[in-house]
Structure 1
Amino acid sequence: MQYIDMKGKRYGRLTVIERAHNDKRGTVYWKCLCDCGKETIKSGQLIRLGKTKSCGCLGVEFLKSIGERTKTHGMGKTKLNYVWQEMKERCSNPNHKQYKNYGGRGITFQESWKDFIEFYNDMHATYTEGLTLDRIDNNKGYSKDNCRWTTALRQSNNKRNNVYETVDGITATRSELCDLYKVPRCTFYWRISHGMTVEEALKKTTTKGT
């Protein structure tokens, strides 16, 4: 099987020593030496894509640096600090479970928000308990101009894969239209599954079973 020879090349903190093995799917793994001195075996594909840059020490240092900065202002255990940390992790840490949907597709955060106090100064005035941080334009990064506090439902309506419909000149997600026309979601989707159009499913007079 042909493979890309990575021996001797450097990626982030990793210097490739030699080919290690292939997994059952044919993915080639390489033994690497990290700048911290530790040897590690990583997927060649993930290394080349930039999703693996160290033996894991980079992520540890990142989390440690966040912890050290939050100690200085006394808000390390607040909800706002948790939101800030998660935002940075999603955008900056390749090991975060949501990185592929954020940093992995180019979503960043404004430079000044590397400092929690700057984030706090920009966003705390409009925050109330129970709200989540939402980007107004889902294809742009986190910044004061593109962020707002919103409910979890509204944030879910801002997802990239939501389906929008137009009824009576109103364009909204199906969930929002159900709320507007006061139709239970289970009823709406039952009607759709039985051949009704979106408008029919929203406007049909309710009878037993439908």
Structure 2
Amino acid sequence: MKLVIGDKNYSSWSMRPWVLMKHFGIPFEEVCIEMYEAGSKAAMFAHSPSGKVPSLSADDGLAVWDSLAIAETLAERFPQHALWPRDPVARGHARSISAEMHSGFGEMRTNMWMNIRASFAGKGATPGALADIARIDAIWSECVEQYGGPFLFGEFSIADAMYAPVVMRFNTWEPALSEAAAAYARRVTESPAVHAWIEDARRERHAIAVYDTCA
């Protein structure tokens, strides 16, 4: 399989399937397209009809784009791995909070973008962003308490991959979190697949000026 992604420092959507596949040992070829350059959009369209990353393809004709669609496809193709929780009630819960992440938290996304190499502590804290953060904090805290940790549903799953870029944002912007949510964020940051992504992001040399500064 081939996974097409954007810059690891900036592309939150790309991070999700990459971390998921690395965590579960699913082999893939990585293709990275530097974003916001003259040929970036054309290069992305060559791999995906959406003209966006990530996208996943395979020699058998598989062509999937969008991070959550890729995650669902991987869960179908690799049932030997518990990409979703095995328990159907927990699985429904995990799908719900993953979809909430996928479609929501617009204020936080807009005001606290992903830039792993940056430090914007205390900035971006608009009322809307803070409301989004409070909801995310509640999701993390409640899931860890209900399912016993160390991750949202016990073992690392699609739900954790969906929220991994939020952890990256929180590491950069440093909003106030509850003790439970902060501890969860540290565990995600220290997990091997996420750590590998962070190290790769730090080694990148491509820079996107608009995301490297914050008033």
TM above 0.5, yes or no, is no
TM-score with structure 1 setting the length: 0.27
TM-score with structure 2 setting the length: 0.27
Return the structure number with greater relative CO, CA threshold 8 A, min gap 6. Answer: 2
More helix by share: 2
Greater Rg by CA:
1
